[in-house]
Structure 1
Amino acid sequence: MTQPSSQDPTQLRSYRWFGPDDMRSFGHRSRIKGMGVDDIDYQNRPVVAILNTWSELNTCHSHFRDRADEVRRGILQSGGFPVEVPVMSLGEMLMKPTTMLYRNLLAMEVEEVLRCHPIDAAVLMGGCDKTVPAMLMGAISADIPSIFLPAGPMLKGRWKNETLGSGSDVWKYWDERVAGNLCDQDWKGIENCIARSAGTCMTMGTASTMAAVTEAMGMSLGGAACVPAVFADHHRLATRTGRRAVDLAWENLKPSDILTRESIENGLMASLAIGGSTNAIVHLIAIAGRLGIELTLEHFDELSRTTPVLGDIRPGGRFLMEDFYNAGGLPALLARLSDLLHTECRTVGGVTLGEQIAGAESIDDDVIRTRDNPVSPAGGTCLLKGNLAPNGCVIKSIAADPKLLTHRGPALVFDNYPEMKAQLHDPDLDVTADSVLILRNAGPLGAPGFPEWGMLPIPKKLLQAGVRDMVRLSDARMSGTSYGTCVLHIAPESAAGGPLALVETGDPIEIDVPNRRIHWDVSDEEIDRRRQSKQLGTLLPERGYGHLYAKHVTQADRGCDFDFLEGRSPGQEPGIH
């Protein structure tokens, strides 16, 4: 194969493995030929890795076996040599206690897989919640040309005459079942049709939020974030992504060339404007940290005050991802925010963000609101601080009951999830609609793994009385599909000795979202007394990944990355001897 003069095969990273006339390169070439590969297949061509998170235990990625073949087709079309490399699949629905426990493990695997192999560029195939930040974090640290292919949302669910959104409607109908308003047959009917196809949740959950953030940051092709998983458009997207990956290899366009403080801010504003998941905050802090960029909760809140919510998408709105795609998708929404964005930022598509969204048109102003008719003028997600959360906590205000955004009530404390589950529906539970439910030991260390327990269930006696929202506080996360007046990510967490560990049932708790305040109305003297009398902290697991995790994970306000992975990687290449 004759390459254009600008494409010098000796400058490819893989040339170090396959090009030289030495014994080691002979070994590399002979072993790859042992798999049936011929010289013409790989010599003088970019080696493009397809990092595939397909698994039969991950519904969101169940179509990835086919999509990998379509990516492969695109790589071959552009003269590259495709190699599929499986990496850990993080399926939120079936992994316990949470995929967040393993986000950093996948990030480490992606980094090391890219670093140690003869790879010139990579297509990162992910989608289900934690796979997106994990793969980006690993690619950033390896700093090898990479492009992200999102799994895409599943189709809208349908039950009787109801349009169903996964997650959000599960919570809603479960409350009705607990209240005694939904029979076994109807519950089974919803179970059979709420997840209608392959793909991620069709609400604006964490998966679609992070796909949108990735596109806004410039790490996927324009329009990639919300193509439904089973649409023909998604097949074509996979092939286009493969073709573009070959170009990235020749251009040596690395994540460090794309991702800057400004592109991170674009991702933040996109997350806010779509009414995105609170989990995006933790992941963006970790992604920025891998770039050596400090991103604080305060900066997030500053942008929150000035970024309107234009995406009318569940759980903070009315529509689903399929509707968002049909309305013009993320490019159309970003075009309406172009004056707020850093449009000069580069993208993996080879154009600036401004060029990528130029001419994007909104088809439906109900789904993608205009600037003069937003879902909310600002503040879809807010930072709170106070003596209960010295390092901050967050609340998704657009998914909460407006009447509860300023509230004072007595605490009802559960020490852990099993205790809450055992006691919550006790008819004798001393609880009212004014109570503030508190779950502790649910953070990065306490659970462990920072699970999505933050949307605490409402007690059965209150559901039967018609209550459908109340103030809930925890050091946990909640699913992006969740809703309600839930204060999350309290930092430092209780297991790390944070103030939440000292709260007792009956203590007055106050939240004031407009003024970004959370207050535990107990005297400093009483807090000191409790601290002296209570043993704080948690025991480290004795072995394995759990020990590594507990010893090195940071708190929510720092992104829950491992402390030894923060900052730019030195980018050391493996030696070849």
Structure 2
Amino acid sequence: MGYRSNDILGKPEWSFNRSVFKSVGFSDDDLGRPVIGIANSWNELVPGHANLRQVAEHVRKGIYRAGGTVAEFGVIGACDGTAQGHAGMHYILPSRDLIANDIEVMVQAHRLDGIVLLGSCDKIVPGMLMAAARLKIPAIFLPGGPMLGGIEFDGRKADLTTMSEALGMLRSNKIDEKTYDHLEELCGPTCGSCAFYGTANTMCCMAEALGMSLPGAALVPAVYADRLRLAEDTGKAIVALINSQTNADKIITYQSLENAIRVLMATGGSTNAILHLSAIAAELGIAAEKMMDAYDRLSESTPQIAKVNPASKYDMEDFYRAGGIPRVMQEISHLLHLDCLSVTGKTMEQNIKDYKFKYPADNNVISTLAKPFSKQKGVAILRGNLAPDTAVTKPAAIDPQMHVFTGSARVFDSEEEAEQAILNGGIKEGDVVVIRYEGPKGGPGMREMYKAMKYIYGMGLAKKTALITDGRFSGTNNGCFVGHISPEAAEGGPLAAVQDGDLITIDIPKGSLHLHLSGQEISARLAKWQRPEPKFTSGYLGVYSKLASSAAKGAVVKI
């Protein structure tokens, strides 16, 4: 059959290109096979990527065995955890678009026949999936797998974010420095994406639900031997996709995006998935409004049947052993588009039917539709006079008694100001912490208010206060929180009009975020508002702050 790479490797017109490949070590036999890229985000800075060099070797083995030629290249991948709470977090969300662009450039410049995408963490996974949707070539995604849980602390296995909760406990004299230092050594015992159901693992699960990963690939722990066997099978699968001419846009469709949304709601995944699924949909020309309507509509009829940290004490290894995404999709199968195609070459219905579970079911982690953990939304869209273009929250991580909350605004114009006030004891019961100018443009980069929520938890205020922002949250956050408020404050959204002492109501059952002011008063305040100077005027962040769309549209770069 004719491969894409033949377009630039046919003799004699393209012998120059052949000589370039041969100078790297490729042979005539290699150049007669499909040339398959491995976009590898391995590095020594991110725990979720530290094992990807070894994983890539097994992908290579599978490609060679199936008759393909491997061309591996590197992709950037920054760590959300390391970037938390300082200027580095401005770069994390914008890196998603860079990753998509980087892969596009490498695939198109070298006319690759297909691509295997290796990544595990928050913005790397959606960036890779955006590239797959954009390129419309055979593609398959493989994560490195989650890490194992750490020492038991505060009633559950610790994870890396436990340190932030513990800092609040240390500051409020609930634990001593010896306990705190001991926790630092033992909260993250292995490599892998973080052991909780945050954005990293949520997006790996979304890739599987979309059909872009082999069944079960999302949750096999990084240190399990099955992760390497999956890698070899992934290598074989990409060759089969090329031979069957199955491009990624046959797999990532509006129907498969609806499947992913169903799985997101059923598992109570990260709110950031809404941002990223919208960005992937944008690559296919699917309007943001259509996606927002889908989140609203599907959340109403999708009960939560999986409960994982931060919504429970069970971590990702427990989720995997309980059956993971295959068990969830099997349980909610009548809600899914089962005729959607996957990278196995089979439909989702066939994948669910054929999947072999290695461990017994655990209803403490994955329940049934007959006995769901909650009939309420796992992730919810809010609207109101504070969020005309929507906001996002996560009922699955919020105590039911906090699903309706009215409090007095404490307003901060940056993440750092809010964090300092929390640690200094400046937030009291009944407050609604408002953190603004942290949206896609205003941040820029829509930083996560992760530490602020962890500090509130550590100070014992998680069930007594709320936090709202035009920024984002980590998938591990719990407490009462609302993010992605659109339009953002830097664009003159109503959030810019809020003042200390204003009453704000969060009403999740009604899908409402309301500022207790008249429309006339909000308009009068905004008439006096002055747009703040951009925080960055040069470099990539200077460009991003000018071109980023709103959170309601996926925060994608729009020219």
Maintained 8 Å contact 2:454/2:477: no
How far apart are the structure 1 equivalents of 2:460 and 2:50? 41
Maintained 8 Å contact 1:455/1:472: no
Maintained 8 Å contact 1:501/1:536: no
1:419 aligned residue (393, 417, 441): 417
How far apart are the structure 2 equivalents of 1:463 and 1:126? 31
Note the residue ranges of structure 1 that are not aligned, 5 or more in a row: 1-7, 565-577
Give the match for residue 366 of structure 2.
368
2:125 aligned residue (117, 125, 132): 132
1:39 aligned residue (28, 32, 35): 28
Which amino acid in 1 is paired with 2:347? T
Q: What's the offset of the Cα at 1:26? A: 1.3
How far apart are the structure 2 equivalents of 1:459 and 1:208? 23
Deviates more, 1:158-167 or 1:253-262: 158-167
Query: Alignment partner of 1:385: what SS?
Result: strand
- What value does the CA root-mean-square deviation take over the aligned residues? 1.9
Gap change, CA 1:543 and 1:465, over 3 Å in 2: closer
How far apart are the structure 1 equivalents of 2:469 and 2:242? 45
Note the residue ranges of structure 2 that are not aligned, 5 or more in a row: none
How far apart are the structure 1 equivalents of 2:312 and 2:153? 21
Give the match for residue 385 of structure 1.
383
Which amino acid in 2 is paired with 1:97? M
How far apart are the structure 1 equivalents of 2:26 and 2:460? 68
Gap change, CA 1:167 and 1:505, over 3 Å in 2: farther
Q: How does 1:253-292 map to 2 (within 5 A)?
A: 253-292=246-285
How far apart are the structure 1 equivalents of 2:241 and 2:460? 59
Give the match for residue 405 of structure 1.
403
* In the alignment, structure 1 residue 435 sits paired with structure 2 residue 427: no
Maintained 8 Å contact 1:496/1:537: no
Gap change, CA 1:121 and 1:359, over 3 Å in 2: closer
How far apart are the structure 2 equivalents of 1:373 and 1:168? 30
Q: What's the offset of the Cα at 1:203? A: 1.1
How far apart are the structure 1 equivalents of 2:462 and 2:342? 47
Give the match for residue 80 of structure 1.
68
* In the alignment, structure 1 residue 450 sits paired with structure 2 residue 451: no
Q: What's the offset of the Cα at 1:510? A: 1.0
How far apart are the structure 1 equivalents of 2:242 and 2:455? 55
Query: Alignment partner of 1:358: what SS?
Result: helix
* In the alignment, structure 1 residue 148 sits paired with structure 2 residue 141: yes
Maintained 8 Å contact 1:47/1:119: yes
Gap change, CA 1:263 and 1:465, over 3 Å in 2: closer
Q: What's the offset of the Cα at 1:469? A: 4.7
Which amino acid in 2 is paired with 1:387? N
Which amino acid in 2 is paired with 1:21? P
Deviates more, 1:544-553 or 1:385-394: 544-553
Gap change, CA 1:162 and 1:524, over 3 Å in 2: closer
Give the match for residue 511 of structure 1.
506
How far apart are the structure 2 equivalents of 1:61 and 1:337? 31
Query: Alignment partner of 1:495: what SS?
Result: helix
* In the alignment, structure 1 residue 524 sits paired with structure 2 residue 525: no
Gap change, CA 1:473 and 1:464, over 3 Å in 2: closer
TM-score, normalised by the number of residues in structure 1: 0.91
How far apart are the structure 2 equivalents of 1:432 and 1:331? 44
* In the alignment, structure 1 residue 71 sits paired with structure 2 residue 64: no
How far apart are the structure 2 equivalents of 1:158 and 1:458? 19
Which amino acid in 2 is paired with 1:306? S
Q: How does 1:205-354 map to 2 (within 5 A)?
A: 205-294=198-287, 295-354=290-349
Which amino acid in 2 is paired with 1:61? H
Which amino acid in 1 is paired with 2:395? S
Deviation string 1:535-559 (CA, Å, 9 cap, x unpaired) is 1254373333223211211000000
Deviates more, 1:416-425 or 1:183-192: 416-425
Q: What's the offset of the Cα at 1:529? A: 2.2
> Higher helix fraction: Structure 1 or Structure 2?
2
Give the match for residue 568 of structure 1.
none
Maintained 8 Å contact 1:168/1:315: no
Q: What's the offset of the Cα at 1:171? A: 4.1
Maintained 8 Å contact 2:306/2:373: yes
Which amino acid in 2 is paired with 1:15? N
How far apart are the structure 2 equivalents of 1:160 and 1:445? 38
How far apart are the structure 1 equivalents of 2:458 and 2:154? 24
* In the alignment, structure 1 residue 20 sits paired with structure 2 residue 11: yes
Maintained 8 Å contact 1:58/1:91: yes
How far apart are the structure 1 equivalents of 2:214 and 2:285? 25
How far apart are the structure 1 equivalents of 2:508 and 2:376? 13
How far apart are the structure 1 equivalents of 2:28 and 2:305? 52
Deviates more, 1:53-62 or 1:369-378: 369-378
Maintained 8 Å contact 2:165/2:458: no
How far apart are the structure 2 equivalents of 1:302 and 1:434? 32
How far apart are the structure 2 equivalents of 1:286 and 1:316? 26
2:494 aligned residue (481, 491, 499): 499
How many residue pairs are counted as aligned between the two chains? Answer: 549
How far apart are the structure 2 equivalents of 1:233 and 1:323? 16
Maintained 8 Å contact 2:164/2:455: no
How far apart are the structure 2 equivalents of 1:160 and 1:296? 39
Deviation string 1:496-526 (CA, Å, 9 cap, x unpaired) is 1111111000011111111111110112232
TM-score, normalised by the number of residues in structure 2: 0.94
Query: Alignment partner of 2:151: what SS?
Result: strand
Query: Alignment partner of 1:374: what SS?
Result: coil
Q: What's the offset of the Cα at 1:297? A: 2.2
Maintained 8 Å contact 1:455/1:478: no
Which amino acid in 1 is paired with 2:433? L
Give the match for residue 183 of structure 1.
176
Gap change, CA 1:84 and 1:352, over 3 Å in 2: same
Which amino acid in 2 is paired with 1:37? F
Gap change, CA 1:468 and 1:189, over 3 Å in 2: farther
